[in-house]
Chains A and B, each alone.
Chain A
């Protein structure tokens, strides 16, 4: 079973920030929070990950609460190309670590 809970869908106007929440109340101390997205009929794309500090890269920002039980992915200026299913996953690091995908959040960016 997936260890995260996400809203099934969200809408966002183009140019606005998209804030996607994720609950992971049973996260273990050695588990990171990963975000991936899947555009229709493509393989998932890595976005960002973090352990306990906030992280930012060219795609997004990741805000993790101090107790690590929830996080928010922020797309600062959403575009139509950001329309996708976004998956929040918790997993230990390591090249043999399996990722368990939940149902994700379907983000629809509109004009």
Chain B
């Protein structure tokens, strides 16, 4: 099936620094990508919808100035967590549709902010 990759798989950073997470569609073009966040023992929560060549759409309660999303090409979307704090520690997952009805997810990035 279609493959979505994420880099890095895990990252540890100091409080106040910024972290960039990449999401790539490896064998298809992705006009739209989705970013989710998952805290321990909780379900996935959609953060934003990333659209190639235009601004991302953020879900209610997600700070767009803190979680910067760039979707500059049809195969790459990036999520930058700016001025990260310990409460931003989470599992970040991206996804996209390869076929009309099937959404494929990346393996996730575990962020730990010290």
Contact = CB atoms under 8 A, between A and B. Distances in A.
A110 interface: no
A102 B43 contact: yes
Contacts of B4: 43
Task: Tell me the dominant secondary structure on chain B's binding face.
Answer: strand
Contact of B46 (A34, A49, A95, A100): A100
A101 B44 contact: yes
Interface string B30-44: 011010100000011
A32 B95 contact: no
Interface residues of A, number: 25
Contacts, number: 57
A43 B43 contact: no
Interface residues of B, number: 27
Contact of B91 (A32, A41, A94, A97): A41
A96 B103 CA distance: 10
A95 B106 contact: no
B93 interface: yes
A42 B95 CA distance: 12
Given A100-B46, A104-B43, A43 B31 contact: no
Interface of A: 2, 32, 34, 36, 38, 41-46, 49, 87, 93-104
